[in-house]
Structure 1
Amino acid sequence: MKKDGAVGMQINCVSNLIRRSIDLRIAGMPGEKLSRMDSWIIHYMLDHQQEDVFQKDVEKALAMTRSNVSKAVDQMVSKGLIMRSPVDYDARLKKLTLTPKVLEIHRQIEGEIAEFEKLLVEGFTTRELEQFKDYLERVAHNINDNAKRQQDERKRRDF
Structure 2
Amino acid sequence: MQHSLGVAIQRANNALARDTDQFAKTLGLTGRQVSAINYIADHETERDVFQRDLEQEFNIRKATASSLVTAIVAKDLIIRVPATNDARYKRLLLTPKAHQIAQKIAAFFAASERRMQALLANDFEPTRQHLQLISRTFTANTTADHDSDNDFN
TM-score where L is the length of structure 2? 0.90
1:24 is matched with: 22
Give the length in aligned residue pairs: 152
RMSD over aligned Cα, in angstroms? 1.6
CA deviation map 1:103-153 (0-9, x unaligned)? 111221122112211222223223x11110121022112202211321232
Report the counterpart of residue 55 of structure 1 in structure 2: 51
Distance 1:47 1:94 in 2: 18
Residue of structure 2 equivalent to 1:140: 135
> Structure 2 stretches of 5 or more lacking a match?
none
CA distance in 2: counterparts of 1:113 and 1:122, whole angstroms:
14
Query: Offset of 1:87 from its aligned partner?
Result: 2.1
Q: TM-score, normalised by structure 1?
A: 0.87
- Inter-partner Cα distance in structure 2 for 1:146 and 1:9: 19
Identity %: 27
Q: Could you list the per-position Cα deviations for residues 12-64 of structure 1 after superposition, in whole angstroms to 9, with x for gaps in the alignment?
A: 1111111111111222x3xx412111111111111112211110011111111
Other-structure match for 2:35: 40
Aligned to 1:105: 101
1:39 counterpart letter in structure 2: V
Letter in 1 for 2:82: P
- Measured in 1, the distance between the counterparts of 2:143 and 2:102 equals 36
Moved >3 Å (runs of 4+):
none
Number of the residue aligned with 1:66: 62
